[in-house]
């Protein structure tokens, strides 16, 4: 489900990708509609860097992001499997296995929009 990023979303994106200067995907020219796909595909150098950046999130920010994922507002479809695996592991450590299982199911049910 595409959305316009809120001030909270933009703040989270700036936390995990402080080098983010604009909110447009350089590849498509379309405004970002989620946080994790641009983090994974444009700002993180690799999976370890992605995890390092995710660990910068406060519990409140991580809970907020998980709520968006579970409601279908945060897209996961274009996030590489290896990155999502690390994200789910971090969610499990910080928010519990039950929440992590729900996030994993959301990923399994998602697809990359064309």
Asked if residue 95 is part of any domain, the answer here is yes
Torsions phi, psi of 25, nearest 5?
Answer: -70, 120
Asked if residue 113 is part of any domain, the answer here is no
Asked if residue 1 is part of any domain, the answer here is no
Contacts (Cβ under 8 Å, ≥6 apart) of 67: none
Kindly list the distances between the CA atom of residue 52 and the CA atoms of 19, 73, 88, in Å, as whole numbers in the listed order.
15, 23, 14
* Number of Cα atoms under 13 Å in the Cβ half of residue 61: 19
* pLDDT at 107 exceeding the cut of 70: yes
Q: Please give the Cα distance from 96 to 39 (Å, whole number).
A: 23
User: What's the pTM?
Assistant: 0.90
pLDDT for the residue 22: 77
- Domains in the chain, number: 1
Asked if residue 29 is part of any domain, the answer here is yes
Asked if residue 114 is part of any domain, the answer here is no
Mean pLDDT of the region 39-64: 97
Residue 19 structural domain:
7-108
| pLDDT tens figures, 29-49 | 677 899 999 999 999 999 999
């Amino acid at each position: 489900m595409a959305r316009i990023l809120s001030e909270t979303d933009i703040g989270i994106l700036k936390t995990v990708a402080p080098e983010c200067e604009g909110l447009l995907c350089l590849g498509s020219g379309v405004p970002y509609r989620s946080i994790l796909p641009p983090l994974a595909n444009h700002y993180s150098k690799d999976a370890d860097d992605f995890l390092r950046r995710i660990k910068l999130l406060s519990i409140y920010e991580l809970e907020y992001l998980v709520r968006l994922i579970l409601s279908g507002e945060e897209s996961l479809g274009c996030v590489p499997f290896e990155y999502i695996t690390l994200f789910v592991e971090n969610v499990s450590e910080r928010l519990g296995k039950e929440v992590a299982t729900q996030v994993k199911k959301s990923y399994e049910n998602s697809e990359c929009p064309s």
